[in-house]
Amino acid sequence: MADDETTLTVAISSRALFDLDESNDLYEREGLEAYRRYQIQHEDVVLEPGEALSMVKKLLNINDLLGKRRVEIILLSRNSADTGLRIFNSIKANELDITRAAFCGGESPYRYVRAFGCSLFLSTHAEDVGHALEHGVAAATLIGTPAGEPRNPSADLRLAFDGDSVLFSDEAEQVYQSQGLAAFSEKEAQAAGRPLEGGPFKPFLSALHGLQREFGEQQCPIRTALVTARSAPAHERVIRTLRAWDIRLDESLFLGGMDKTEFLRAFGADVFFDDQSLHCERAKDHVTTGHVPHGIANQR
């Protein structure tokens, strides 16, 4: 199989990769031309880390560990190529192997996500994320403050996922929202032998699992966790679904409605993906959080 058939391709917006808040504030106050002048004047000043930088470094490290290119990072930016020179200079200063980019001059870059063959799109712009999800690509809006020091300083990449509306469809969540917990638990117990449909992050999880398999008996630098509000008896359908998909998660936490934050900290998540805004708001000051605006919870 050719390399490009097994490459995991992740698209990152410039504001997710680096802290551009200061210059963005200038843009909001004084407009595009002032922003352009500022970035040109500061193009040799390395940008501070954004929320996604630590994750990107760990993803690219997988290539070094495997000795072959299995992960590619694509930069997608609303900047112009002119103002984007500072971003590429910062990429070089951080020794990131990122060579492909789309600078869209103020327009949304989401339309290039599928053209680059991306499995995941991370941005700080919720509208772009929503468009990517509508076009069948896993996507999340990163929220919180710029990362600074990595929150998980180990070399391992640790990713945590909510279940319903993220890894799985929102079929069960619709029952919960419309009929309550008792009906949800009863219907999930009845449907335990019928696998759930995949959610927007199923293909990305599958691609991660493929990378994990490439490490064979070696210690794998990727660790995944399901962190869900489900509890018994609703756990069985989830377990059987993952078996049917032939996808393994390293850890599965069935919390029965408990706050997820401390569990995410204990797991050491680099990024946590959840469709519920409340869970994201609770976790964002402790764990880099990606809001997935998908499913019934985001239609109200």
Question: From residue 121, how far is each of 72, 83, 189, 201 by CA, in Å?
Answer: 12, 22, 34, 11
**Residues 274/297, Cβ–Cβ less than 8 Å:** no
As given in the structure block, the two tokens for residue 68 are 């072959």
State the Cα–Cα distance between residues 242 and 132, nearest whole angstrom.
25
Query: Which element (helix H / strand E) includes 85?
Result: helix 85-93
CA-closest candidate to residue 220, choices 153, 150, 288, 158 = 158
By the 10 Å C-beta count (0-12 exposed, 13-18 middle, 19+ buried), 13 is classed as buried
Q: Going edge to edge, which strands form the sheet with 100-103?
A: 100-103, 71-77, 8-13, 120-123, 138-143, 289-291, 271-274, 157-161, 222-228, 251-254
Go through the chain and tell me how many residues it has. 300
Catalytic, 162? Answer yes
Which among 162, 164, 170, 270 is annotated as catalytic?
Answer: 162
**Residues 157/55, Cβ–Cβ less than 8 Å:** yes
State the Cα–Cα distance between residues 211 and 214, nearest whole angstrom.
5
Which residues are catalytically annotated? 162
